[in-house]
Structure 1
Amino acid sequence: MKQEFTITVYTENQIGLLNRIAIIFTRRKINIDSLNTSPTEVDTVHRFTIVINETEDVVRKLCRQIEKQVEVLKAYYNTNDEIIWQEMALYKVPTDVIAEKAKVERLLRERGARVVAIRQDYTVFETSGHREEIEGLIKALEQYSLIEFVRTARIAIIKDSKGFHAKLKEFESEQPAEELVENEFLNQQDKVFSM
């Protein structure tokens, strides 16, 4: 049965990787509902957050395929219950409507919206939340001459995760990088020669 999954991909920051990952979805005729890329807490590691509507079997195979890319460190998939997620939205509304109607101001306050910019002809508000909350505010503002709306892609954190930084350190301690192994070998040779 299809359901919404969030795929989190940890990668090196390389040119062309986004295109190669997108091709994996295109070849399988899978629509990406949301895509966000951002740096992580580790300087050299980036995170892709991809939202799709598919079966778990297909998502599992997708993650395995994504992990075959050289620059990909790890790919995880989660249901909405297993993550904490948000989206952000901007709404542009005529300033005169807000000034004249106390209902609009009350509505925005109730929804946790904050003012980002005020111009003579329009005011821009920002809010964050789940898609349903954001779309609910769109419907409410349409009756007050909503001029424009834009929403970001999903950002998400896995609930039961130590974080990728901790996993990366754990992996490196179990399987040291080639430079560390090479240094250990050189140190052992130095000891032999110094005897």
Structure 2
Amino acid sequence: MEKKWFTISIYSENNVGLLNRISGIFLKRHINIESLNVSKSEIENVSKFIVVVFCEEEIARKIVGQIEKQIEVIKAFYHLDDETIYQESVLFKIASSLLFDERQIQNIIKDNNATIVTVSREFFVIAKTGRKHEIDEMYMQLLPFGIMQFVRSGRIAITKTEMPISALLAKFQKS
């Protein structure tokens, strides 16, 4: 079977220890979590985990099945990249002297639709939101100039089609 990128969406109650148990499911199968984000969801009092993995579809399906066995988990889904709309965010900290001395830095910022979020005497910070390959490309462009610090968020994603969780919860709320 062929390995692919999967975005796993998990809707759950927000309970202590759940993240640890979910990550344990990936650990037992020796699957590396490439990206992880946890936030409020569109449903009141329900959290949404977004986990990105690179594995075979059969493994993704089995992982989702195991995750759904957790008491606090309402529902879990997996999707291929072309079934989702997703973004990541990144911050780059660069020496301030480069902003004025290296014209190419300003072109990199402009060409990548990035923004400068702060400037001080010692450094400036660039913010960029985009897909993984866009952020990787900007990183490679800035690397020769020296990156003082770099941080990247986990993927945030929504599906192109309606999530079955909405219909499931509507039925639950009517009962």
Q: Tell me how far 1:142 sits from its aligned partner.
A: 1.4
Residue aligning to 1:67: 68
Does residue 107 in structure 1 map to residue 108 in structure 2?
yes
Matches within 5 A, 1:4-153: 4-153=5-154
Q: Which amino acid aligns with 1:55?
A: E
Unpaired runs of 5+ residues, structure 2, are: none
Distance 2:47 2:160 in 1: 19
Unpaired runs of 5+ residues, structure 1, are: 177-195
Deviates more, 1:9-18 or 1:139-148: 139-148
Q: Tell me how far 1:95 sits from its aligned partner.
A: 0.8
Structure-2 change in CA distance of 1:171 and 1:139 (3 Å):
same
RMSD of equivalent CA atoms: 1.4
Q: Tell me how far 1:131 sits from its aligned partner.
A: 1.0
Q: Which amino acid aligns with 1:2?
A: K
Q: Is the 8 A contact 2:75 2:165 kept in 1?
A: no
What percentage of aligned pairs have identical amino acids? 37
Q: Tell me how far 1:80 sits from its aligned partner.
A: 0.3
Distance 1:171 1:160 in 2: 21
Distance 2:141 2:171 in 1: 49
TM norm structure 2? 0.94
Residue aligning to 1:181: none
Matches within 5 A, 1:148-167: 148-162=149-163, 164-167=165-168
Q: Tell me how far 1:165 sits from its aligned partner.
A: 4.2
Cα-to-partner distance string for 1:133-184 (whole Å, 9 max, x where unaligned): 10111111112222121111101001101574454113443xx2xxxxxxxx
Q: Tell me how far 1:104 sits from its aligned partner.
A: 1.1
Q: Is the 8 A contact 2:5 2:81 kept in 1?
A: yes
Q: Which amino acid aligns with 2:41?
A: T
Q: Which amino acid aligns with 2:33?
A: I
Q: Which has the higher strand share?
A: 2
Q: Is the 8 A contact 1:86 1:155 kept in 2?
A: yes
Distance 1:64 1:162 in 2: 17
Distance 2:96 2:107 in 1: 15
Q: Which amino acid aligns with 1:157?
A: I
Aligned residues: 174
Q: Is the 8 A contact 1:41 1:165 kept in 2?
A: no
Q: Which amino acid aligns with 2:124?
A: T
Q: Which amino acid aligns with 1:156?
A: A
